[in-house]
Structure 1
């Protein structure tokens, strides 16, 4: 059992989080904590020039709202955190900062460029300093 579990939530594919949250609950040690982490990716500079300045703030608010809805639907007493940047890098940073002993994330169906795991899952698995559970 694990005492600090990071659940990586892709707010654009919340249905995947619906599958992994119950797993986190099952694997949590009594008295353990779950942290739902969503990552808002940075937009390239050439895109930022064409979109409203508030788009990044709106994306963060949307991510926070979706994480909160997910938490309430599952009756979780979990912390939430929305980070900004590259998903794999931010998930690994969150795990290190919170001293997580497990990261749970869902992987999409990969294409030939990342045949076995999705790109984010692949990077997290390769670089995590704790256990990683990838749901397919």
Structure 2
């Protein structure tokens, strides 16, 4: 079905990451590729001044380590990509740079400010140039 799939995984919800990695594997064409993506959000400058200088590098290394462990645990073959910045923009940029034809991401139960899907998922759906599959949380 799909040749290149970006699977955006939040480290705070690795259980959902496992589910969407397996879903990606079921949708992947023979010879296709899955890219497991984690985005480390930027810290505002006024906060970053008070934090250790290597915090971003440590967070990106931690993200890589956790995604590698998750990928190994699921048995799904995937390339790891760690980026930083606003999550929706980074997910869309990753999809474009990898020439993905599908993005899969999980969405939390929204509040009134983003009623239909989560804020990041909403932005990705609206601006991605490829198909987007949003895995909803079971209530």
TM range (shorter): over 0.9
- 2:92 aligned residue: 92
Structure 2 match to 1:47? 47
Aligned residue pairs, count = 136
User: 2: distance between equivalents of 1:71 and 1:43?
Assistant: 27
> What TM-score do the two structures reach when normalised by structure 1?
0.97
Q: Which moved more, 1:9-18 or 1:122-131?
A: 9-18
3-state DSSP of counterpart to 2:83: strand
Aligned alpha-carbon RMSD (Å): 0.8
Give 1:23 shift. Answer: 0.4
Aligned partners of 2:38 and 2:82 also within 8 Å: yes
Q: Structure 2: any 5+ residue segments left out of the alignment?
A: none
Distance (Å, rounded) in 2 between the aligned partners of 1:65 and 1:12: 14
Q: Secondary structure at the match of 2:75?
A: coil
For normalisation by structure 2, the TM-score amounts to: 0.95
CA distance in 1, matches of 2:93, 2:113: 25
Matches within 5 A, 1:118-133: 118-133=118-133
- For residues 26 and 76 of structure 1, the distance between their equivalents in structure 2, rounded to whole angstroms, comes to 10
Structure 1 gap ranges (5+): none
1:1-136 equivalences under 5 Å are: 1-136=1-136
Q: Shift of the alpha carbon at 1:76?
A: 2.1
Aligned mates of 1:11, 1:134 — CA distance in 2: 17
Distance in 1, matches of 2:94 and 2:48, equals 26
Task: Return structure 1 stretches of 4+ with deviation > 2 angstroms.
Answer: none
SS at match of 1:50: coil
**1:81 aligned counterpart, secondary structure:** strand
